[in-house]
């Protein structure tokens, strides 16, 4: 078991929607990865993670919304028709896209960064679950996630914010290999 979790962690990669096969992922697997997300660490048990799952025709609506916001807010000199089309198409290449949201503790009993960190831990649990199921996954945070139109599209509640989108699908080919520098240069042992 120890070897399995070590391998899952080391093999986890961003696998982008352009690599997805179009084969649907079962809702049962999506429910399992959301259940695993729910077991992330959470200070004072605030459980700040919230998820909105898009699939089927809703993926087209999400793509249209993202593309429209890109077109509306991209500076004229940086606007690209190719990026606009890619933005609209990306969700439709997926089986499911999950909006990653955070519901701030109304009492603000802990700092916001701890709530964001708890959501990130929940996403890591989802990512490790997709790796265990040999699925592709990718977390993207477009520059328009804080815009009022996105808040409205996602029907966010008071104190809730979107932290990005988690794209999921079966993929074709090999995942991208990753490199890490050795841990020795990143750790200081303090023994006294």
**Among the listed residues 103, 108, 115, 113, the one whose alpha carbon sits nearest the alpha carbon of residue 160:** 103
pLDDT at 175 over 70: no
pLDDT at 2 over 90: no
Question: What value does the mean pLDDT take over residues 80-84?
Answer: 96
- Domains of the chain, by residue range, sit at 16-186
Digit-coded pLDDT (tens) for 20-71: 999 999 999 999 999 999 999 999 999 999 999 999 999 999 999 999 999 9
**Lowest-confidence segment of 2-11, 65-74, 100-109 by average pLDDT:** 2-11
Helices 2-11 and 112-132: angle between axes, nearest 10 degrees? 100
Digit-coded pLDDT (tens) for 117-162: 999 999 999 999 999 999 999 999 999 999 999 999 999 999 999 9
Note the pLDDT of residue 11: 87
pLDDT at 187 over 80: yes
Digit-coded pLDDT (tens) for 132-143: 999 999 999 999
Q: Which CATH architecture has domain 16-186?
A: 3-Layer(aba) Sandwich (3.40)
Give the C-alpha separation, 37 to 27, whole Å: 15
Element (H, E) at 96: strand 96-103
């Amino acid at each position: 078991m120890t070897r399995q979790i070590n391998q899952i962690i080391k093999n986890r990669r961003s696998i982008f929607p352009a690599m997805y096969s179009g084969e649907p992922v079962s809702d049962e697997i999506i429910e399992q990865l959301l259940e695993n997300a729910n077991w992330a660490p959470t200070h004072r048990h605030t459980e700040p993670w919230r998820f909105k799952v898009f699939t089927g025709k809703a993926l087209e609506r999400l793509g249209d919304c993202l593309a429209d916001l890109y077109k509306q807010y991209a500076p004229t000199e940086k606007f690209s028709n190719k990026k606009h089309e890619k933005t609209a198409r990306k969700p439709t290449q997926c089986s499911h896209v999950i909006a990653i949201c955070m519901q701030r503790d109304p009492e603000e009993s802990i700092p916001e960064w701890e709530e964001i960190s708890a959501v990130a831990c929940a996403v890591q649990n989802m990512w490790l679950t997709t790796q265990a199921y040999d699925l592709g996954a990718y977390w993207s945070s477009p520059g328009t996630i804080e815009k009022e139109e996105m808040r409205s599209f996602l029907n966010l509640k008071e104190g809730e914010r979107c932290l990005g989108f988690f794209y999921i699908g079966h993929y074709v080919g090999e995942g991208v290999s990753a490199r890490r520098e050795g841990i020795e240069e990143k750790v200081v042992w303090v023994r006294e």
